[in-house]
Amino acid sequence: MKSGEKKQVDIARLKADLAAASVELLSARCAADRIRMHYAPQDVVAFGERSALQRAISSAQALCAFFSQLDDHLKHNEDARG
């Protein structure tokens, strides 16, 4: 949903969804850290399932783009506040 749309934002739902996403993202980060700490990147690429790696990379790129957009908005709001 774009901020310019007429649909009313359900703030309670947004906060609940954000809290749930934070927990899920922490879990994903822990899973990635376990792999990162136990295996060299070369081994992950050489022995990991290519399609699983591509899905994980695609998901991480989408998350990075989304949260970078949020970070830009936060910085803009902070600059506007002075």
Contact 35, 44 (CB under 8 A): yes
Question: How confident is the model at residue 74, as a pLDDT?
Answer: 96
Query: Does the model's pTM come out above 0.85?
Result: no
Say whether pLDDT at 4 is over 90: no
Say whether pLDDT at 5 is over 70: no
Domain residue limits, the chain: 9-38, 49-82
Question: How confident is the model at residue 31, as a pLDDT?
Answer: 97
Residue-wise pLDDT for 13-67, tens only, equals: 999 999 999 999 999 999 999 999 999 999 999 999 999 999 999 999 999 999 9
Q: Counting beta carbons within 10 angstroms of the beta carbon of residue 11, is it exposed (0 to 12), middle (13 to 18) or buried (19 or more)?
A: exposed
Nearest-angstrom CA–CA distance, 39 and 2: 41
Across 44-57, b (16+ Cβ under 10 Å) vs e yields eeeeeeeeeeeebe
Better pLDDT: 4 or 10: 10
The token pair at 23 is: 């927990």
